[in-house]
Structure 1
Amino acid sequence: MLEVESGLVSQKEEFASKMETLAQRRVDLQRKEGSLKESLTKFDKFLKENDAKRARAIKKAFDEKKLRELKDHEIERLKEAVERLGRQRERQVRAVENNLIFQHYLESILETTDEFGEIKDVIARFDTLAATNAELVERARVAQEKNEAVRGEFARAAETKNTVILNHNNHLASLQRRLEDAQARSSMLQAALDEQARAAKGKSLLVGQIKMATTNLFSLVRAHLQNRIPPSSDTFDQLDKIAQFVVDLQVVIEVLARQKEREKGFAEGGTGEGEATVGVGVSAGPGGDAA
């Protein structure tokens, strides 16, 4: 039993020793881990600082390169400007040399006249005359533009007037054609009217002749009937009376014809009845009396 307890105590002490050793190792590991983390942090900071320095160095180099290029361009531009100014100076020198003749000319003018005291007076007079000439030229241009505007307006008015005249002429020609057509139709109508007038005149003459013949015939009928029918100036009434007389006369003629036939028969047969029959037929003549 003691051995067992001694063994357990020994095992506990050994386990405690191992646990202490493990704890110490854990502490050492934590310390090393902290040291590694600190070293890693420092290294990372170093890398970041190194990258920042490198980026700043690259940017500085790029800026210096760009600035150098700008300076080179500026140098080239200034060189070109110097060359251009040199050429301009040469041109101005040549212009001055060429214009010396004008200076000599102006000086000769001063020597020949007392109107101008200095060259600037001559130049001022020239400027005045040039301004006056420019004003006159401008006035002439304005007058020319007004003249052209008036001409254009006149041309447009003339064109409009010509168009109106042309339209009037066309309308007049149309009216002339209509007048000629109307005159032609009028001539045709006049000819037709004359023909109708001649026909009407002929018809009127025929009607007059008919009326005259009717009146004469009516007078003969009245005279034959011993004026037993009243007088009338109406042609149609006269024709009615004449027609009635003709009808009655036809009846009398037929009666007389039958009477002659009977008389002929009586002459052959020896009877006296025919005379009485003839007397009746004559009394039935026009007007109700014997013919």
Structure 2
Amino acid sequence: MEFDLREYFRAAFEDKLLVRMPDREDDFLTPATRLLEKRREMIEVEQALNTQKEEFQMKTESLQQRRAELEHKEEKLKDSLFKFDKFLKENDSKRKRALRKATEEQQLAAQKEREAIRLQVKNKQLQVCKERLLRRQEKTSIYQNYLQRVLERTEEFQEVQEMIDRFNTLMATQDKLLKRELENQENTEKEKARLLHYQEEARSQILELNNQLADLQEELERARAIELEWESRWAQIQNTAAENTLRLGRIRMATLNLFQIITKQMHMKSDASIEDTEMQLEKIKICFVDLDAIHKDLKKAEINPQTPAMSSAN
């Protein structure tokens, strides 16, 4: 919208806002007259611009009002569509629930029918099992009679089931003892194998440690030889350092003596410290440079003795 407004004003007032070159007749106008003319033109342009702004503002308000009405209608239409969609969804949900309920009832009826058939089959199987157990009971009744006779002869147990439980307990205890004995045998074999393995590892470690000890003894001998060599080198280095220290002391003393002689001869101010050998050498170097320059000047004077006289005459 801002871009359209700018284009609109530019097209409406392009001719009025253009700066034209003054005609030949305007050459005789005073600056004040020209300024008043320009102000009048600016006022006219501003009035026209305000008028156009008001018209554009009215059009904008009208468009905004129409847009608000359209948005209100659109909201009503959306509300109607939402209610209609909700109504359709509710009907579809009811229809799906009814179909699901009918399907569930059919599945439940089929499941009950299958359950009834399964129970009938299971009943037949139980009848067959019952007959088989009755026949087995008839066959095992002799053991029951035998246990009853044993119970009558012993006073330790009061019922047959107590004898059976005691027998089962003894058998379970025997199984546990057998399993424990087997486990102990297996553990013993494992411990024997582990002991042999540890003995072999210990022998191997002893041999390896003996080899390492021999290697370390050789390294120790080599290290001692190297130590003796470095000790001799260190003694040599200390002797060399002592000699260098003595030589450095002599050089510093000679430098200090030379510096003191130069300062006395040249009447220079001795501002260098006694320990500052570098500063003393720098001062000595400067002095020698000056002396060399003076010596060169003297040689030039000896070669050209007329040069000072001519320069003084000039």
Per the normalisation by structure 1, the TM-score is 0.32
Q: Scaled by the length of structure 2, what TM-score is found?
A: 0.30
Structure (1 or 2) with the larger CA radius of gyration: 1
